[in-house]
Amino acid sequence: MEGWYYLHTNGSLIYKRELGGTAADIRESTFAKAMWPFDPGDRESVWRIVIESLAAGAERERVHYLANHWGCDDVDADVYADRVGVTLSPDGGKWCATGPGFRNLATSLAGFGKTKLEAMAELCSAMGYRPSKMWGTSFEKLLRQ
C-alpha cells in the first residue's frame, strides 16, 4: 500500500502518501468523510475507490480522471464486475448494473449510468452505501448481503 485516498467534506478526493500515522490523521480529521487504502497494483482496490467515492458524492471529474489514469474503463469493468458478482447490461443509451439475486427492476435494486463505473456507483448508492473512514461496509460487502 502506497497511501490513502480520502473524501473531503467539500467533495474533493485527495491522496496522501503513507508516512506512518497517515491513516490516523485522516481518521481523526473532521474534514474527511471516507478513506480508502491505495495500492495501484490491486485492481479491486482501485475499483473500490472510484465506485464508492462516486457513490459518496466525490467530484465526478476527479473520479473519472482517476478511473482513466488507473485504466478503469468499460472493458476492465467487466472483469471487476464478474469478480464481485455484478451483472452489467446495456439499457437504451445507458448501462444497468445489478447485483446477485436480481429478479426484475420493479423488485430489485439497480444502478444506471453512461459508463459501467457510473452504473455500479449508482447501484452502490441504491444498496445503501454510507461513506466511512475505516470499518464501514464496502460495495463488495453490500453485494454479499
C-alpha gyration radius of the chain: 15
Give the pLDDT score at 134. 83
Tally helices (H) and strands (E) across the chain: 6, 6
Mention every residue, 6+ apart, whose C-beta is less than 8 A from residue 145. none
| pTM, to two decimals | 0.95
3-state secondary structure of 69: helix
Q: Please return the burial class of 5, using the count of CB atoms within 10 Å of its CB with bins 0-12, 13-18 and 19+.
A: buried
Q: What is the mean pLDDT of each run of 10 residues along the chain (145 residues)?
A: 97 97 96 96 96 98 98 97 98 97 95 98 98 93 95
Which residue(s) pair with 15 in the sheet?
A: 5
Give the pLDDT score at 135. 86
3-state secondary structure of 51: helix
110 and 103 in contact (C-beta within 8 Å)?
no
Alpha helices in the chain (DSSP H): 22-28, 43-55, 60-69, 74-84, 116-126, 139-144
